[in-house]
Amino acid sequence: MNSPAAGVSMTERLFAVVPAAGGGSRIGAAVPKQYLDLGGEPMLHRSVDALLAEPRIATIVVVLAPDDPRRPPAGRFDARVHWLPEGGATRAESVRAGLDALAAGDSDWVLVHDAARPGLSAKALARLIDTVRDDPVGGLLALPVADTLKLADSDDRVCSTLPREALWAAQTPQMFRAGVLRQALAGDLTGVTDEASGVERLGLAPRLVRGEPPNFKVTLADDLELARVLFSHGGN
Ligand code: C5P
């Protein structure tokens, strides 16, 4: 999986990994959430399409659960997309499997994007790539937290109000060099809920790049309704 990236002006190549091996049980559907319908297409296809809109991406590895028999119809995606049925027990393990399948050199860039974020726009993706490509560490799309934050006790009662000034909510894609990502995802992955948290464990400070509200993660039934409204209006 080592095709050259046509028309890329970056020295390093740019790859993408889409972890899509989760069960998505919190949404309460009969199929994993990445296969729920969004305007006539599975959510996963929408998320892959969002990456394919960026011509600088050479190869996209979609990581599926080992027992997942679903594949897109022949010809649905271009040859940049590869399906890897080697997902792990956690998101981080699935990403690690995708990374292992890429013939990426240490300095090549890898974008990791959740299958459950179908609302990524070409504009936000390009902003991430353009901002991070010269960064020594890498970075991620994220949004400054707008709501007032409450710390809850086990009875859902407020313990305190947290200062929100410096808080951002992480999104994907997250973009790091393959070498850094390999180190970040090596060994014990406890607490590594996104790539940036693994990179932070290495003592590095990823760059925050402003994302967009429609790039939310579809997690609960309400999120699915919102995503369906978005795609009934043509998506991004
Ligand atoms: O469950 P959650 O929404 O946090 O999952 C985020 C992404 O990670 C989803 O695209 C999901 O399919 C993927 N995932 C995975 N392997 C797992 C768990 C989650 O690829 N074991």
Rg of the chain in Å (alpha carbons): 18
Instruction: Say which CATH topology domain 14-232 has.
Output: Spore Coat Polysaccharide Biosynthesis Protein SpsA; Chain A (3.90.550)
Report the predicted TM-score, pTM, of the whole model to 2 decimal places.
0.94
3-state secondary structure 158-210: EEEEECCCCCEEEEEEEEEEHHHHHHHCCCCCCCCCCHHHHHHHCCCCCEEEE
- In the reported structure, the alpha carbon of residue 119 is separated from the centroid of ligand 1 by a whole-number distance in angstroms of 16
Q: E strand or H helix at 125, and its extent?
A: helix 122-132
Ligand 1 atom closest to residue 26's alpha carbon, by position in its atom list = 1
- Residue 90 in contact with ligand 1 by CB distance below 6 A: yes
Phi-psi region of 234 (alpha: psi -120 to 50; beta: other; left: phi over 0): left
Each residue of 139-192: pLDDT tens digit?
999 999 999 999 999 999 999 999 999 999 999 999 999 999 999 999 999 999
Count CB-CB contacts under 10 A for residue 135: 14
| Cis upstream peptide for 206 (omega within 30°) | no
Q: Name the CA dihedral angle for 112, 114, 117, 120, rounded to a multiple of 10 degrees.
A: 10
Q: In the chain, what are the domain boundaries?
A: 14-232
- Phi-psi group of 89: left, alpha or beta (phi > 0 → left; psi -120 to 50 → alpha; rest → beta): alpha
In angstroms, rounded to a whole number, what is the distance separating the alpha carbons of residues 199 and 84? 24
Supply φ then ψ for residue 138, to 5 degrees. 115, -175
Could you tell me the CA-to-CA distances from 74 to 70, 88, 111 in Å, in that order?
12, 26, 25
pLDDT (0 to 100) of residue 2: 46
61-74: per-residue pLDDT in tens? 999 999 999 999 99
Does residue 35's CB lie within 6 angstroms of at least one atom of ligand 1?
Answer: no
Q: Collapse the DSSP code of 138 into the 3-class scheme (helix H, G, I; strand E, B; otherwise coil) and give the result.
A: strand
Complete edge-to-edge strand list for the sheet that includes strand 138-144: 81-84, 59-64, 14-20, 109-112, 168-177, 138-144, 207-210
- Is 94 a pocket residue for ligand 1 (Cβ < 6 Å)? yes
SS3 of 14, please? Answer: strand
Backbone angles phi, psi at 105, to 5 degrees: -75, 160
How, if at all, do strands 158-162 and 149-152 pair? antiparallel
Which pLDDT tens digit goes with each residue over 190-209? 999 999 999 999 999 999 99
Find out whether the beta carbon of 121 lies less than 6 Å from any atom of ligand 1: no
| Residue 97 near ligand 1, beta carbon < 6 Å | no
